[in-house]
Amino acid sequence: MLRDISRRKRAEEVQRFLAQASSVLAASLDHETTLASLARLAAGPLADFCFIDLIEDSGAVNRLVVAHADPGKEALAQQLLRYPLDRGRPHLVFTVLQTGEPELWPELPESYLESVAQSQDHLRLLRSLQIRSLLAVPLRAHGHLRGVLTLLTAQSGRRYPAEDLELAQELGRRAALAIENARLYREAQKAVRARDEVRSVVSHDLGNTLSAIFIGTELLLKTLPADSGQDETRRHLEAIRASAAQMERLIGNLLEIRRMEAGRLPLDCKPEEPAGLIAEACQVLQPLASVKSQHLEAELAADGLPRVLADRERVLQVLSNLVGNAVKYTPVGGLITVRAERRDAEVCILVKDTGPGIPAEHLPHIFERFWQVRQGGRRGIGLGLAIARGIVEAHGGRIWVESRAGAGSEFYFILPAAE
Ligand code: ADP
């Protein structure tokens, strides 16, 4: 029994070729490298030579890649890159870009080369390439036309049959997706760079300006006589100092998250008295609590606590974020308590408030980066708790929250005892 298997064989070859093309396209996010590899892959099984034109962000058409199956003719084909396409003259690439449709010329007439040549030199070069048949497909991804892939046959004498069009179009679709991915990757990188620049401007320039505000307010508060009858002025100055402290915490968080993202959060751990850490954090936040007429209390175990193994500055930041949040979210007149107690070989610190609490559905996410119960709320940036968790976990500790909507919040964290 005889059966014609040429169709099946061809279908298998096409699938193999497309699979190969996909892996070439996925190999790099640099579109020039990727497209050069693709052109090299196509020049051989699919074409004697091929080139790829891309539309630049400026709208100009740029011939990016030329590849020839015959290494001896590669240099000749490469010369095509020397002839920038003139929008004022007809060219197959412009036709495809205008119509968005593929072009298939099974047998290219000599007059065709004359009509598309950009100059006499260009015409000579085109003739020397002995182009026989031509296939050009648009590179379109997500509805956007990004360029044209042109396949040509020459010395092989092959003529493109209509069924090659489908294969070329599929190749074009895959290439366009790779170009689109590379473009999105470039944009994402640009956005990351812009974000980092903003962060460093915020952290350095704003930090310096804040220091000046701090020093100025401190000086004014010191020089204001206690019995000058200027209580109003004193209150305003304290409010300025408290706001500056809050901004400083925000900047500290921005810097810290950057370090965490970069995977470097070096800790300088020493034995520290928990009572001292709590007292210092409360002292810094007291003015802010006073502005809101809140009571901020530190409750320390009477029988003393073991020292904890901690990086002082970083644990102060955890406390500052937790107490800062309690002050921020608890209404005027509320009560905030900070307590520390021994739990076996560990010390547990609790920051408790009489604020609005956190709805149950938000509790699992509260320590995620940029998570806010009221999205886009203007009172923070959603980093404080993520940083607190990062720091506590880097110490080998744990952090969690117990809270109910309307019933206040209790944030706990545990640090290992030093001895
Ligand atoms: P930020 O305070 O900058 O928004 P955080 O990471 O510190 O970011 O907190 C995340 C969210 O958790 C806050 O937006 C807030 O909705 C909620 N939250 C944190 N602490 C408290 C608290 N003590 N009381 C009520 N809600 C809180």
pLDDT in tens, 221-240: 888 887 777 888 888 888 88
Verify whether ligand 1 is closer than 6 Å to residue 409 (CB atom): yes
Instruction: Tell me the pLDDT of the chain (419 aa) as tens digits.
Output: 566 667 778 778 888 888 888 888 888 878 788 888 888 888 888 899 999 999 887 888 888 888 888 888 888 888 888 888 877 777 888 889 999 999 999 998 888 888 888 889 989 998 988 899 999 999 998 888 999 999 999 988 889 988 889 889 998 998 898 888 888 888 888 888 888 788 777 777 888 888 889 889 989 988 888 777 788 888 888 888 888 888 888 888 877 887 787 777 788 899 999 999 999 999 888 888 988 999 999 987 767 789 999 999 899 999 999 999 999 999 999 999 999 999 888 999 999 999 999 999 989 999 988 777 765 455 667 889 999 999 999 999 999 999 988 899 999 999 999 97
Question: Among 8, 7, 77, which residue's Cα sits nearest to residue 42?
Answer: 77
Ligand 1 atom closest to residue 367's alpha carbon, by position in its atom list = 6
- Ligand 1 centroid from CA 321, angstroms: 9
Pair of tokens at residue 117: 């040549």
pLDDT value for 114: 87
Whose C-alpha lies nearest to ligand 1, atom 2?
380
Please work out whether the CB of residue 281 comes within 6 Å of at least one atom of ligand 1: no
Token output for 224: 């204001």
DSSP 8-state secondary structure symbol assigned to residue 269:
-
**Using one digit for the tens of pLDDT, what is the confidence trace for 297-343?**
998 776 778 999 999 989 999 999 999 999 999 999 999 999 999 98
Tokens of 266: 């070096």
Helix (H) or strand (E) holding 394: helix 384-394
Hey, which residues does 310 pair with through a beta bridge?
Answer: 270
Q: Is 353 in the pocket of ligand 1 (CB under 6 A)?
A: yes
- Determine the Cα–Cα distance for residues 325 and 367; give it in Å rounded to an integer: 13
| 355 pocket-lining for ligand 1 (C-beta < 6 Å) | yes
**What does the alpha-carbon distance between residue 199 and residue 193 come to, in Å, rounded to a whole number?**
10
What percentage of the chain carries pLDDT values higher than 90?
35
Q: Evaluate: CB of 382 within 6 angstroms of ligand 1.
A: yes
CA distance 175 to 139: 7
Name the pTM for this structure.
0.60
Q: Are 353 and 409 in contact (CB under 8 A)?
A: yes
Nearest-10 Cα torsion for 250, 251, 255, 256: -30
Query: Among 149, 90, 140, 139, which Cα is nearest to 114's?
Result: 90
**Does any ligand 1 atom lie closer than 6 A to the CB of residue 325?**
yes
Ligand 1 contact, 366 CB (< 6 A) = yes
Measure 192 CA to ligand 1 centroid, in angstroms. 25
For residue 355, give both structure tokens: 């604020």
DSSP state of 417: B
418 ligand 1 Cβ < 6 A: no
Give alpha helix (H) positions in 148-230: 162-200, 207-223
Location of structure tokens 């021994």:
342
- 159 Cβ contact partners less than 8 Å away, ≥ 6 residues apart: 106, 107, 132, 133, 153
